[in-house]
């Protein structure tokens, strides 16, 4: 999709739910670097795919409740499309959508693409 939209700008967004006291001390309270490290670990395969394809992207991070932070960002910035997975890691549940994707679909105003 991105390859067919040469003007598209992509932001990969990851929300950490905690940073941990030990890490906070170790990083001398550099919260942003901790969040970026956490995000990098979580989405390394996605980053790799973008790099492999030579597609530019921004990485953005936040700390808090994932659904809340995604919705907040979507409301604050003018995105044309949000691409989100249907499930996270807790795939054993029988629900169609995870709680994060469900809340995002309900609460944002822009189009949402759900990837199964
Ligand atoms: N912390 C997060 N940061 C960024 N995106 C997230 C985060 N958590 C979930 N998502 C997005 O939401 C999609 C669906 O994940 P979700 O968490 O809703 O499902 P789940 O983990 O299966 O269920 P639940 O979290 O309700 O137990 C993911 O594929 C991802 O795109
Ligand atoms: Mg989840």
- pLDDT tens digit sequence for 11-22: 999 999 999 888
Q: Whose CA is nearest to atom 4 of ligand 1?
A: 14
pLDDT of 93 > 90? The answer is no
- Alpha-carbon distance of 101 to 114, in angstroms, equals 8
114 pLDDT band, cuts 50/70/90, is very high
Q: What pLDDT is stored for residue 91 in this prediction?
A: 63
**pTM attached to this predicted model:** 0.92
Instruction: Give the mean model confidence (pLDDT) for residues 41-59.
Output: 95
Nearest-atom number in ligand 1 for the CA of 84 is 31
3-state secondary structure of 49: helix
Element (H, E) at 110: none
Please, which residues have CB within 8 angstroms of residue 89's CB and are 6 or more apart in sequence? none
Q: Is residue 107 within 8 Å of 97, Cβ to Cβ?
A: no
Instruction: Give the mean model confidence (pLDDT) for residues 84-94.
Output: 76
Of 28 and 92, the one with more pLDDT:
28
Q: Whose CA is nearest to atom 16 of ligand 1?
A: 98
Q: Quote the ligand 1 centre to 95 CA distance (angstroms).
A: 13
């Amino acid at each position: 999709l991105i390859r067919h939209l040469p003007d598209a700008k992509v932001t990969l967004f990851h929300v950490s739910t905690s940073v941990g006291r030990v890490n906070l001390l170790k990083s001398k309270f550099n919260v942003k670097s901790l969040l970026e490290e956490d995000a990098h670990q979580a989405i390394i395969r996605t980053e790799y795919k973008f790099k492999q394809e030579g597609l530019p992207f921004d990485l953005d991070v936040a700390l808090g409740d994932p659904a809340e932070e995604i919705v907040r960002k979507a409301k604050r910035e003018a995105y044309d499309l949000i691409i989100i997975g249907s499930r996270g890691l807790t795939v054993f549940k029988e629900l169609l959508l995870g709680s994060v994707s469900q809340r995002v679909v309900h609460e944002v105003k822009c189009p949402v693409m759900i990837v199964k």
